[in-house]
C-alpha cells in the first residue's frame, strides 16, 4: 500500500481526505499537533473507515521531528494541509501566519529532499486571486492581490513552490486552490470543529440555527449582486477531499517535472442569502439573521472556472449546496446543540 503523509490530517479538509485516501487504497499517516483540531477526529475516522490512522503529534516547523517521521514512515508522497487559516487573526498577528504557514512548507520541502520524497499536493486558496479580474475565475488569472496576511502566505507559498520546482525538476507538485469548503461527512462522524466564535459562514449558520448564537449577521446587502449579498463558490468537503486523491494519482501518472495549479470549486456562485435560504429549506429549521455592514476585506463575488480540473484530473463536484448544508446541519446535531 502506498503511504502519504497528511500534515494537518486531523483538520477539517485533512480528515475528510484521509477517508478518501483509504477508500483509494492509500495509507494516510497524519502529522498534526492538534492545535486546531481534536483527538476524537481519529475515532470518527475509525468509525467511517474501520481503521485508525497513525498520527504523529508534532509541529510541522520542527525539522528534527519531521525528519524522524520521514525516517520511520518512509512515505511515497505528501499532502500538506497544516496551516493557520483565520483571516482576521492573520491581520492581528501576521508573524504567526508567516512563520507557521511559510516555515512549515520550507521545513517540509527540506525534509522531503533529504528523504527523496518528490510528490507533493499543497493546499492553496482562491484568496490568491483577491478581487479577481473576470468570473468564473481561471487558474491563469493574476494572483498576488490577496486581502490579508493569511492570503499572502498562500501567494508566497505558491511562488516558493514554483521556485523550488524550477531548481529541482524532480519535485512534482500540485497546488490546489480551494474555493469555500463547507459541509461534513454524511455519516456525521467528522466535520468542522470551529474553536470559539466561528469566522466562516456555514459554521455560524449551523450554530445560529442550533440556538448557540443569537443571530447570524449577513455582512452587507448593498453589493451589486442579484440580492445584494456576496457571492462565493461553496464546495462540499467530500468532493474537495476526492480531488486530493485524484491529484496524487495524476502526479503519479506524469513523467517528468510537474508544477501545476488547479481550482477546486463547483463553478457555481451562491449569495449569502441563498445559502441561508437553502439551509432553511433543506433542513426545515430557521436561521435567525440580521443584515449588518460589509466586512472589511471581503470580495464581492468569486467562483471557479473548473474546466482545467475536469480536463486534467477528471474531477468534478458531485454534491450540491443543499447536500453540503444538510450534512453541515447533521454534524451540528451530532456535536450536540
Interacting residue with ligand UD1 among 24, 58, 299, 334 (CB under 6 A): 299
Asked if 238 and 185 count as a contact pair (C-beta separation under 8 A), the reply is: yes
Nearer to ligand UD1 by Cβ, of 9 and 265: the residue is 265
| Active-site annotation holds for 178 | no
d(CA 228, CA 50): 46
Q: Which of 85, 118, 172, 330 binds ligand UD1 (CB under 6 A)?
A: 85
Which residue in the block uniquely carries the three cell numbers 525534509? 111
Min CB(22)–ligand UD1 separation in Å: 25
Q: Which of residues 91-120 bind ligand UD1 (CB under 6 A)?
A: none
Q: How many CA atoms lie within 13 A of 323 on its CB side?
A: 15
How many angstroms separate the CA atoms of 78 and 58, rounded? 15
Residue 111 C-beta: closest distance to ligand UD1, Å: 26
d(CA 303, CA 292): 23
Stretch of 56-64, 143-151, 241-249, 305-313 lying at the interface with ligand UD1 (CB under 6 A): 143-151
Nearer to ligand UD1, 53 or 151 (CB): 151
The H-or-E segment that residue 18 falls in is: helix 12-23
d(CA 115, CA 103): 18
In the complex, the smallest distance separating the C-beta of residue 216 from ligand UD1, rounded to whole angstroms, is: 6
2/96 with CB nearer ligand UD1: 96
Shortest distance, CB of residue 113 to ligand UD1, whole angstroms?
28
Interface of this chain with ligand UD1, residues 236 to 295, rule: CB under 6 A: 272, 295
Nearer to ligand UD1, 204 or 250 (CB): 204
Q: Do β-strands 231-232 and 270-271 pair in parallel, antiparallel, or remain unpaired?
A: antiparallel
Distance CA 292, CA 312 (A): 42
Could you tell me which residues are beta bridge partners of residue 261? Answer: 175
Nearer Cβ to ligand UD1, position 138 or 199? Answer: 199
Catalytic residue among 97, 129, 150, 152: 150
218 binds ligand UD1 (CB under 6 A): yes
- In terms of Cα–Cα distance, which of 199, 182, 284, 280 is closest to 239? 182
Q: Is there binding between residue 125 and ligand UD1 (CB under 6 A)?
A: yes
CB 132 within 8 A of CB 302: yes
- What minimum distance in Å lies between the beta carbon of 294 and ligand UD1? 8
B/e letters for 74-99, b = 16+ CB within 10 Å, e = fewer, are ebbbbbbbbbbbbbebbeeeeeebbe
Residues 193-212 close enough to bind ligand UD1 by CB under 6 A: 199-201, 204
* Residues designated as active site: 150
Which residues would be at the binding site for ligand UD1 (CB under 6 A)? 85, 87, 125, 127, 147-148, 151, 180, 199-201, 204, 216-219, 230, 232, 272, 295, 298-299
Amino acid at each position: 500500500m502506498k503511504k502519504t503523509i497528511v500534515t494537518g490530517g486531523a483538520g477539517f479538509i485533512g480528515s475528510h481526505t484521509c477517508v478518501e485516501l483509504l477508500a483509494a487504497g492509500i495509507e494516510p499517516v497524519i502529522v498534526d499537533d492538534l492545535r486546531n483540531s481534536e483527538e476524537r477526529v481519529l475515532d470518527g475516522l475509525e468509525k467511517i473507515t474501520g481503521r485508525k490512522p497513525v498520527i504523529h503529534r508534532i509541529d510541522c516547523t520542527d525539522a528534527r521531528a519531521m525528519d524522524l517521521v520521514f525516517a520511520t514512515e518512509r512515505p511515497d508522497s505528501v499532502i500538506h494541509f497544516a496551516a493557520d487559516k483565520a483571516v482576521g487573526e492573520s491581520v492581528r498577528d501576521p508573524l504567526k501566519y508567516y512563520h507557521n504557514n511559510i516555515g512549515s512548507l520550507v521545513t517540509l520541502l527540506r525534509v522531503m529532499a533529504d528523504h527523496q520524497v518528490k510528490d507533493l499536493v499543497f493546499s492553496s486558496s482562491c484568496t490568491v486571486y483577491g478581487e479577481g479580474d473576470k468570473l468564473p475565475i481561471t487558474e491563469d488569472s493574476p494572483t498576488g492581490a490577496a486581502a490579508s496576511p493569511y492570503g499572502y502566505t498562500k501567494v508566497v507559498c505558491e511562488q516558493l513552490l514554483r521556485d523550488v520546482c524550477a531548481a529541482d525538476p524532480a519535485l512534482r507538485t500540485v497546488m490546489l486552490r480551494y474555493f469555500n469548503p463547507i459541509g461534513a461527512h454524511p455519516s456525521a462522524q467528522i466535520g468542522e470543529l470551529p474553536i470559539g466564535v466561528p469566522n466562516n459562514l456555514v459554521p455560524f449558520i449551523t450554530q445560529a440555527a442550533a440556538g448557540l448564537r443569537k443571530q447570524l449577521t449577513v455582512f452587507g446587502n448593498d453589493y451589486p449582486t442579484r440580492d445584494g449579498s456576496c457571492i462565493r463558490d461553496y464546495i462540499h468537503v467530500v468532493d474537495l477531499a476526492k480531488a486530493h486523491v485524484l491529484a496524487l494519482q495524476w502526479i503519479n501518472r506524469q513523467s517528468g517535472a510537474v508544477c501545476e495549479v488547479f481550482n477546486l470549486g463547483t463553478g457555481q456562485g451562491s449569495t449569502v442569502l441563498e445559502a441561508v435560504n437553502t439551509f432553511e429549506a433543506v433542513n426545515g429549521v430557521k436561521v435567525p439573521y440580521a443584515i449588518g455592514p460589509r466586512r472589511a476585506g471581503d470580495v464581492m463575488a468569486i467562483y471557479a472556472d473548473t474546466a482545467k480540473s475536469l480536463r486534467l484530473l477528471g474531477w468534478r463536484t458531485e454534491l450540491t449546496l443543499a447536500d453540503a448544508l444538510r450534512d453541515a446541519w447533521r454534524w451540528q446535531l451530532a456535536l450536540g446543540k
